[in-house]
Amino acid sequence: MNIGVAGAGAVGCYFGGRLSEAGHEVTFLARGEHLHAMSQQGLVIQEEERQFLVDGIFTGNVAALGDVDLVLFCVKSNDTKEMAQQLKAVIKERTLVMTMQNGVDNEEILNDVFGADRVLSAVTYIQAAVDEPGKVSQQGRVKLVLGALDPSTDFASAVVSLMQEAGVDTVQSKNIRVRKWNKLLWNATFNPLSAISGARVGEILDDDQLRKTAETICREVIDVAIHKGILVEPEATVSHIFSRAEMARQHRTSMLQDRLRGKRMEVEAMCGYITKQGALLGVQIPALQSIYSVLNFVNDQQNKTSVLKT
Ligand SMILES: NC(=O)C1=CN([C@@H]2O[C@H](COP(=O)(O)OP(=O)(O)OC[C@H]3O[C@@H](n4cnc5c(N)ncnc54)[C@H](OP(=O)(O)O)[C@@H]3O)[C@@H](O)[C@H]2O)C=CC1
Ligand SMILES: CC(C)(CO)C(=O)C(=O)O
């Protein structure tokens, strides 16, 4: 299959790399030093046990994705609208677009731009990072749960097979929005708190005050999910989220990694969306709301600093 990666950073390079290794033609859309390094030396992927070199097409020109059959949509949520509009102008009418992003609002944007009948969504379980330009590392388990936004369409199973044949543990879901909400509950509990405090997941679990705050946020977000009509059993969900966190003790969440690198954090996707939904639905979420206001300020400051640097 002819596959495009829109936003070849950590996630896009990893899954695009696995598909390229399985023999598919993959075009990686990237930019800056990372694109330069991949164009010169190829893409190096470091997994725990092995390293492999990906020899794909590396480009900074979105028009190079014009002929692909499937786009892995992997930009940070802050860039979703802009990337979706750029893609819409160049891809074929029948090209499938699969978001592998965190959060639940990217689906709404992609739905508006492309129509639900060709958008897929994946819950992405992976711990990947761009360690240096041209080099991506991945640790721990890799798993995808994927489904179509419109479950009456039948193309999700073909993409599940594509991933499975490339050796990626992938299952199909008929209710992908609920699965995405479940992941968002984890991310909203740990990502903003880790970004504001600088703590790894294990440090949040071990510090009484931080743990209490994480639990408070978790319950707030569960409340919003329930008011949105997502079926969640609060006690079982809190306990599941905290037991999954035990397996990621050393992890610096993607939001903390962005903050440490001076990059714009996904504040809207991880807290802004939930805060706004809470306000619309009349659900009080003071803990997450406070963290949202601080992280928004930090994001704006980082943005100003990077503008000053350029
Ligand atoms: N990393 C992880 O382990 C996980 C991440 N996720 C989610 O997956 C999504 C992607 O995350 P991740 O891969 O870490 O993010 P990255 O920042 O590593 O990757 C996104 C890439 O897209 C590039 N990009 C953005 N706009 C353009 C453009 N117009 N043209 C070319 N390149 C562009 C970015 O470039 P630049 O850097 O210059 O902005 C960056 O290289 C996020 O929603 C994240 O929350 C989900 C599970 C795990
Ligand atoms: C915890 C993790 C790596 C789960 O895949 C994640 O989604 C993040 O750090 O944002």
pLDDT confidence tier of residue 48, bands split at 50, 70 and 90: confident
Query: Of 174, 200, 223, which marks where a domain is finished?
Result: 174
* R_g over Cα of the chain: 19
Find the 223 Cα to ligand 1 centroid distance in Å.
29
Is 303 among the domain residues?
Answer: no
Distances (CA, A) of 220 to 239, 280, 297: 15, 14, 22
Shared domain for 6 and 63, answered yes or no, is yes
Question: pLDDT per residue over 154-174, tens digit each?
Answer: 889 999 999 999 999 999 999
**Residue to substitute in 127, 169, 183, 241 for testing ligand 2 pocket (most ligand atoms within 8 angstroms of CB):** 127
Is 262 among the domain residues?
Answer: yes
Question: pLDDT per residue over 194-204, tens digit each?
Answer: 999 999 999 99
pLDDT value at residue 151: 84
Atom of ligand 1 nearest to the CA of 14: 13
Is 307 among the domain residues?
Answer: no
Is 308 among the domain residues?
Answer: no
Find the 232 Cα to ligand 1 centroid distance in Å.
29
User: Quick check: 272 and 289 in contact, CB under 8 A?
Assistant: no
Q: Calculate the average pLDDT of the chain.
A: 95
Q: Which residues pair with 123 in a beta bridge?
A: 145
Shared domain for 102 and 211, answered yes or no, is no
Ligand nearest to the CA of 31: 1
Check the CA dihedral 283-286-291-297 and report its sign.
Answer: positive
Distances (CA, A) of 282 to 136, 170, 171, 214, 275: 42, 37, 35, 21, 10
Number of structural domains, the chain? 2
Question: Phi, psi at residue 159, to the nearest 5°?
Answer: -75, -35
pLDDT at 306 over 70: no
Shared domain for 206 and 275, answered yes or no, is yes
Shared domain for 227 and 167, answered yes or no, is no
What tokens appear for 25 in the block? 């033609």
Question: pLDDT per residue over 279-291, tens digit each?
Answer: 999 999 999 999 9
pLDDT at 305 over 80: no
pLDDT at 309 over 60: no
Rounded to the nearest 10°, the torsion over CA 197, 203, 205, 209 is -50
Query: Of 133, 156, 174, which marks where a domain is finished?
Result: 174
Shared domain for 226 and 80, answered yes or no, is no
Shared domain for 13 and 151, answered yes or no, is yes
Shared domain for 117 and 231, answered yes or no, is no
**Residue to substitute in 75, 109, 145, 183 for testing ligand 1 pocket (most ligand atoms within 8 angstroms of CB):** 75
Shared domain for 113 and 186, answered yes or no, is no
Nearest CA to ligand 1 atom 32: 30
Atom of ligand 2 nearest to the CA of 128: 3
What tokens appear for 267 in the block? 């504040």
Question: pLDDT per residue over 118-146, tens digit each?
Answer: 999 999 999 899 999 999 999 888 999 99
What is the rounded CA–CA span in Å between residue 103 and residue 208? Answer: 27
Q: State percent of the chain over pLDDT 70.
A: 98
pLDDT value at residue 49: 84
Ligand nearest to the CA of 13: 1
Query: Of 141, 158, 174, which marks where a domain is finished?
Result: 174
What tokens appear for 172 in the block? 């199909």
Find the 159 Cα to ligand 1 centroid distance in Å.
21
Shared domain for 28 and 154, answered yes or no, is yes
Residue pointed to by tokens 């028009």: 63
Residue 246 sits in which domain range?
178-298
CATH code, domain with 71: 3.40.50.720
Shared domain for 129 and 12, answered yes or no, is yes
Residue pointed to by tokens 């905290």: 242
Is 304 among the domain residues?
Answer: no
Shared domain for 170 and 243, answered yes or no, is no
pLDDT confidence tier of residue 308, bands split at 50, 70 and 90: low
Shared domain for 23 and 147, answered yes or no, is yes
CB count in 10 Å sphere of residue 246: 10
For ligand 2, residues with CB inside 6 Å are: 102, 125-127, 187, 191, 248, 251, 253-254
Is 231 among the domain residues?
Answer: yes
Residues 6+ apart with CB under 8 A from 243: none
Q: Is the ipTM reported for this complex over the cut 0.95?
A: yes
pLDDT confidence tier of residue 62, bands split at 50, 70 and 90: very high
Find the 296 Cα to ligand 1 centroid distance in Å.
19
Q: Is the CB of 6 under 6 A from ligand 1?
A: no
CATH code, domain with 182: 1.10.1040.10
Find the 8 Cα to ligand 1 centroid distance in Å.
7
User: Quick check: 214 and 133 in contact, CB under 8 A?
Assistant: no
Angle at 232 between CA 226 and CA 234, to 5 degrees: 95
What is the rounded CA–CA span in Å between residue 257 and residue 246? Answer: 19
Residue pointed to by tokens 């995405």: 180
